[in-house]
Amino acid sequence: MRFSNSIARLKSQASFARLSGAVAVALTLMFAGAASNAAADTPTLKIGIATTPQIGALQEAAREAKAQGLDVKIIEFTDWNTPNAALANKDIDVNYFQHIPFLENAKKQGGYNFVAIAPGTIMKIGLYSKKVKSFAELKDGATVAIANDPVNGGRGLQLLQRAGLIKLKPGVDYRATPLDIVENPKHLKIVQLEASQLARSLDDVDLAEGYPSFIKLAGTADPNSALLFDGVENKIFAIQFVVRPESANDPRILKFISIYQHSPQVRAELDKAFGNLYAVAW
């Protein structure tokens, strides 16, 4: 009798073990499915940029994000106005193309409610020419192109002052305009163009403010050939990740920024694209 009872208990335990195993498998599949559905339910993060060689580093960060379960789409715009309009219209979640002075001016002019949440790279600007090899060779009345927006144009004027070509009113900063020029001994003709188009103006002007990234993209000159560069020590000119206020703590955006700032592969892409023409601001 005892033997029969023992056999019964063993059979009962075996049945329970099989049941427990089946439940465990079912729970595992259920949780795996839930995790898969959660990943599938996470919306694609859309990042807007102005067309630039920066895209290689951003695409590398997007690939690494994808491997970590975050889908990222990099959207290129051909000008410096649309990325902010797209962010305001919620067509994108974040943009990455502007520094703080440009952002503040855009907010003032466009009425945007944006915040910068993390810095990226600081890009040098330079004075480029395909007509002369030194500032001394510039003839009287030479044409010089600078950016037409209030911030980058002022940055170009400051660089012209550093080159000894003009003198600005005392105390003016990157917000300088051509009206702030108090001395212009060579009678330079200052023309203002959209910043992204300056690289393509080199055949038409004697000297132009230029951004190495756009110079490289346009293929109009060697990006390292500027007659004078500004430095990369002023972090106010660092490109920023910019969002709407409600997205400031979006975990998708914060995860992508962390990948961008800490990935060795992203840094290698930046080095490949810009060499010594950039610095990191984080």
Per-residue confidence in pLDDT tens, the chain, 282 aa: 443 444 444 344 444 444 444 444 444 444 444 434 444 567 999 999 998 788 999 999 999 999 999 999 999 998 889 999 999 999 999 999 999 999 999 999 999 999 999 999 998 999 999 999 999 999 999 999 999 988 899 999 999 999 999 999 999 998 999 999 999 999 999 999 998 789 999 999 999 999 888 898 889 999 999 999 987 778 899 999 999 999 999 999 999 999 999 999 999 999 998 888 999 999
Distance of CA 253 to the CA centre of its chain: 13
The structure tokens listed for 258 are 């962390």
**Residue 182 resides in a domain:** yes
Answer yes or no: are the C-beta atoms of 152 and 80 closer than 8 Å. Answer: no
Task: Classify strands 167-168 and 115-123 as parallel, antiparallel or unpaired.
Answer: unpaired
Task: Classify strands 207-210 and 126-128 as parallel, antiparallel or unpaired.
Answer: antiparallel
The structure tokens listed for 263 are 């990935």
CB 167: neighbour CB atoms within 10 A? Answer: 14
| 174 in the same domain as 135 | yes
CATH of the domain at 271: 3.40.190.10
**Residue 2 resides in a domain:** no
**Residue 33 resides in a domain:** no
List the domain range (segments joined by +) for residue 60.
42-123+235-280
| 113 in the same domain as 181 | no
For residue 213, what pLDDT is reported?
81
**Residue 259 resides in a domain:** yes
Tell me the whole-structure pTM to 2 decimals.
0.76
Which regions of the chain does DSSP assign to beta strands (E)?
45-50, 72-77, 94-98, 115-123, 126-128, 143-147, 167-168, 181-183, 189-193, 207-210, 228-229, 238-243, 278-280
| 150 in the same domain as 91 | no
Answer yes or no: are the C-beta atoms of 143 and 206 closer than 8 Å. Answer: yes
Answer yes or no: are the C-beta atoms of 230 and 210 closer than 8 Å. Answer: no
For residue 41, what pLDDT is reported?
62
Structural domain count of the chain: 2
CA dihedral 141, 144, 149, 151 (to 10 degrees): -100
